[in-house]
Copies of this chain bind each other. A is one copy, B any other.
Amino acid sequence: MVQKGLLIVLSGPSGAGKGTVSKALMPVLPTLWFSVSCTTRPPRPGEVEGVNYYFKTKEQFLDMIENNELLEWAEVYTNYYGTPRKPIEERLAKGQNVLLEIDIQGAKQVKRQFPDGVFIFLIPPSLEELKKRILGRGTETEESFSLRFGAAADEMKHISEYDYVVVNDKVEYAVDRIRSIIQAELCSVARNREYYDQIIKEGT
């Protein structure tokens, strides 16, 4: 019997640092498989097909939706983004742990289909810090800042739908916390009941 892999969902408000933390996790957890999203937005310089995204035409993307090939998807500013279902399900079935880095709406969709996933909410150390990070991008007008900051503060309310909150005070600390959460979940009795029932049978 192969123990099913864990589906780890890393989400959180915009500006929390999901992308940075998830990139920093790769060398720390080399056996973890990082899901790659598809998108209809054109590749940016340096982006590689299958590494950063699977780049799709709008028609291809709509077909994937139609055929239920996406675990979750969203339209963001005229572009589509989504998570292919099949590679994730295949890896989980083989016992591999999978990491999904997605926004809060996406996480909500995933939770409906994988209620036993491990849902981690990454947050900035404070709303002040969040403000700085959004401004630090240097791409925001005052109006778009208010919009983003208001949305991020609002998104904090979703904490209660998650299993864990990780404060991203420093990337390496956040990475260590996520590694710990995964390791702890792998030790959880609830997730290993079948396995231990077998050991107990052997011993008696």
One of B121, B160, B189 near A164 (C-beta < 8 A): B189
- A window 67-91: CB within 8 A of B: none
Residues of B within 8 A of A184 (CB): 164, 177, 180-181, 183-185
Residues 186-204 (chain A) with a chain B CB within 8 angstroms: 187-189, 192-193, 196, 199-200, 202-204
In the assembled complex, the Cα of A181 lies from the Cα of B181 at a distance in Å of: 7
- Best-surrounded residue of A180, A192, A204 (most CB of chain B within 10 A): A180
> Knowing A200-B156, A202-B127 touch, does A192 contact B180 (C-beta < 8 A)?
no
Q: Is the CB–CB distance between A203 and B164 below 8 Å?
A: no
Given contact pairs A160-B189, A176-B183, A196 touches B165 in the complex (Cβ within 8 A): yes
Docked CA distance A199–B154 (Å): 11
State which size class the interface on A falls in. Answer: 20 to 34
- Say yes or no for A179: interface residue by CB 8 A criterion: yes
A153 touches B (CB below 8 Å): yes
Chain B residues with CB below 8 A from A140, complex form: none
Residues on B with beta carbons closer than 8 Å to the beta carbon of A162: 189
Select A180's contact among B179, B193, B199, beta carbons within 8 Å: B179
CB-based closest 7 A-B pairs: A184-B184, A180-B180, A180-B183, A153-B203, A181-B184, A164-B187, A127-B203
29 A-B interface contacts by CB (under 8 A): A121-B189, A127-B199, A153-B203, A153-B204, A154-B204, A156-B196, A156-B200, A156-B203, A157-B204, A159-B189, A159-B200, A160-B189, A160-B193, A162-B189, A163-B188, A163-B189, A164-B189, A165-B189, A165-B196, A166-B187, A177-B183, A177-B187, A179-B180, A180-B180, A180-B181, A181-B183, A181-B184, A184-B184, A184-B185
A residues with a Cβ closer than 8 A to B are 120-121, 127, 153-154, 156-157, 159-160, 162-166, 176-177, 179-181, 183-185, 187-189, 192-193, 196, 199-200, 202-204
